[in-house]
Amino acid sequence: MHEGRSFKIIYHLLTKGQATAPELASRFEVSVRTIYRDIDALSGAGIPIYTEPGRNGGIHLLDGFVLDRAVLSETEKQEILLSLQSLSATRQIDSSEILGKLSALFHTHPEDWLEVDFSRWGSDREGDGSDDQKFQTLRAAIIRRQAIRITYAGPYGTTSERTVHPLRLLYRSKSWYLRAYCTEKKALRLFKLTRILDHALTEEHFSYDAFLDQPELPPQKYTAVTLRFPGEMAYRVYDEFDSTQVHRQEDGDLIVSAEMPEDAWLIGFLLSFGTQVDILSPARLKEIVAEQARAIYEKNKP
């Protein structure tokens, strides 16, 4: 008997109430004979499962049956507890009571291995405008399908007021983003959480189904960029780039080859390395950064 399939059979019967052998065979891509062997094995293991003949018959579980902890392997029990612990570590979901009950049921106690803090260094974690509070409000808005009004810091010094329908929180490349439908732009957008300066729930609710046919976010234009850094910048290079993108040279220098968005952010990013970066390609990017550096010097020269 395949343990994974047997659990799925039980779960399917608990959800649907009953099923036929051909239906289960088609669902799990096995023969009807294999399904009957699984049913016999489950029955032999003490699961109150039975078949009922006739036109309206099928495979059933005895009324009142609940899953016993023995159905789960030790590894599966640990994964369940660790998943709940991960949610609890965000401090946005209090799963401590559930963790306690399941730990007692499973007779195991996972190590306290994870802590997540959404606040930035030096910020007030408990304040009304804290990153933690912002994350919690956005999470609630997504779950309740509730529109939210945000003040957002855009590029080139712009700030805008928008009403958005929040759909998902996304973590990528060391930053949190909100994937939402912008009612002003009438399109899906990504909003970086640190750039949401203010936020407030509205009384408006929306249906998630309305966004099922929405096109995905438009693809961002990426450019192949090659950069050289001195070896002493390794701490920063590995902060910003995946190790597969970094190639150490015999002289200790680091060559980085990456696909990057060619926009104002990239120019600022490269300028943040000061004289510790050499842009090998593309040539036009080197010219743009040099021009920006000259403008900075002219503006700040004594």
Q: Give per-residue pLDDT as tens, 264-286.
A: 889 999 999 999 999 999 999 99
Which residues, 6+ apart, have CB-to-CB distance to 187 below 8 Å? Answer: 181, 214
Residue 137 has pLDDT above 80, yes or no: yes
Range name among 11-15, 28-32, 35-39, 169-173 with the lowest pLDDT average: 11-15
177 pLDDT above the threshold of 60: yes
Quick one: pLDDT at residue 273?
95
Measured CA angle at 85 (ends 83, 88), to 5 deg: 115
* Per-residue pLDDT tens over the stretch 210-241: 776 666 666 678 899 999 999 999 999 999 99
pLDDT tens per residue across span 74-130: 666 666 666 655 555 555 555 555 555 556 555 565 565 556 666 666 665 555 557
184 φ, ψ to 5°?
-75, -45
Q: How far is CA 53 from the centre of its chain?
A: 46
Residues sharing a CB contact under 8 Å with residue 150, sequence separation 6 or more, in sequence order: 161, 162, 163, 164, 191, 196, 197, 198, 199
**pTM for this prediction:** 0.55
Place of tokens 């952010």: 265
DSSP line for 62-107: -TT----GGGS-HHHHHHHHHHHHHHHHTTSS--HHHHHHHHHHHT
